[in-house]
Structure 1
């Protein structure tokens, strides 16, 4: 495979991008969730130690803020979507290299370009839909 092949470069770049973004979203999600659990678990301890109500309330509020950030930024959803797209791109890469599945035909390079673009376009549409859904204000009663 020539290193200057734009189709192969696009596949490689997209695979790297989705893999790294998925890993970053996973790390952020797990860090926020762990902090939320740890801080949330400290609330009854602080209350049992008869800490001032303001201290207990502030710690509890931090848990709510962390959950609000997760809902706003959707790290868990992004992690799963990016990971799924990266795995789909890997699947296409291996089928292409093995010249198997849909890549047995003579126009396999063009097919690879189409399938890579379809995967990234689909992921982008899903991402936009999810983030628009979570950023819309709630309807008033």
Structure 2
């Protein structure tokens, strides 16, 4: 696409709004997963001592206790492996920072109050997106099996 130039409106809609929506959606999804897994962990952990107190009268009480322990381990492992909390916070931060930059630009507020406002805006927005992508790639490398980098 040699010679293709986006104007302000195109950039705001096709690039910035698209990125804000993506980060917002991913943040909400990661928050939902993190909180759901934590609730399952908490409920399972709370049930274990209750069943243990009545283990003689609860059929298969020891099996249920063991199964709940497995559920807790799986939930904790999934939360840790997929980094739901970290992703939730990182995506939310990026989303809100992009929104902040958008509102500064749309109101001609410093640093977007000069002749080069649009160029500065695009540069800052793209740097924010690039920084988040770099952090994401680093976290993926840290998740490689056996702690090895991919």
Match of 1:77 among 86, 100, 104: 86
Structure that is richer in helix per residue: 1
Structure 1 residue 8 and structure 2 residue 8: aligned? no
Cα displacement (A) at 1:58 = 1.1
Describe the superposition over 1:20-55 as per-residue Cα deviations: whole angstroms up to 9, x where unpaired. 111111111111111110011111112222143222
Higher relative contact order (CA 8 A, sep 6+): 1
SS in 2 for 1:101: coil
Please state if 1:61 is matched with 2:61. Answer: no
When normalised by structure 2's length, the TM-score is: 0.84
- Say how many residue pairs are matched: 137
Alignment of 1:1-141 (within 5 A): 5-9=9-13, 10-50=15-55, 51=58, 52=60, 53-138=62-147
8 Å CA contact 1:72, 1:134 repeated in 2: yes
| Whole-Å separation in 1 of the counterparts to 2:91 and 2:100 | 14
Structure number, greater radius of gyration: 2
Counterpart in the other structure of 2:3 = none
Q: Structure 2 CA distance, aligned partners of 1:136 and 1:103? A: 45
Q: What RMSD in Å do the two structures reach over aligned CA positions? A: 1.8
Choose 75-84 or 24-33, whichever is displaced more.
24-33
Structure 1, gaps ≥5 residues long: none
What is the TM-score with the length of structure 1 in the denominator?
A: 0.89
Give ranges in structure 2 of 5+ residues lacking alignment: 1-6
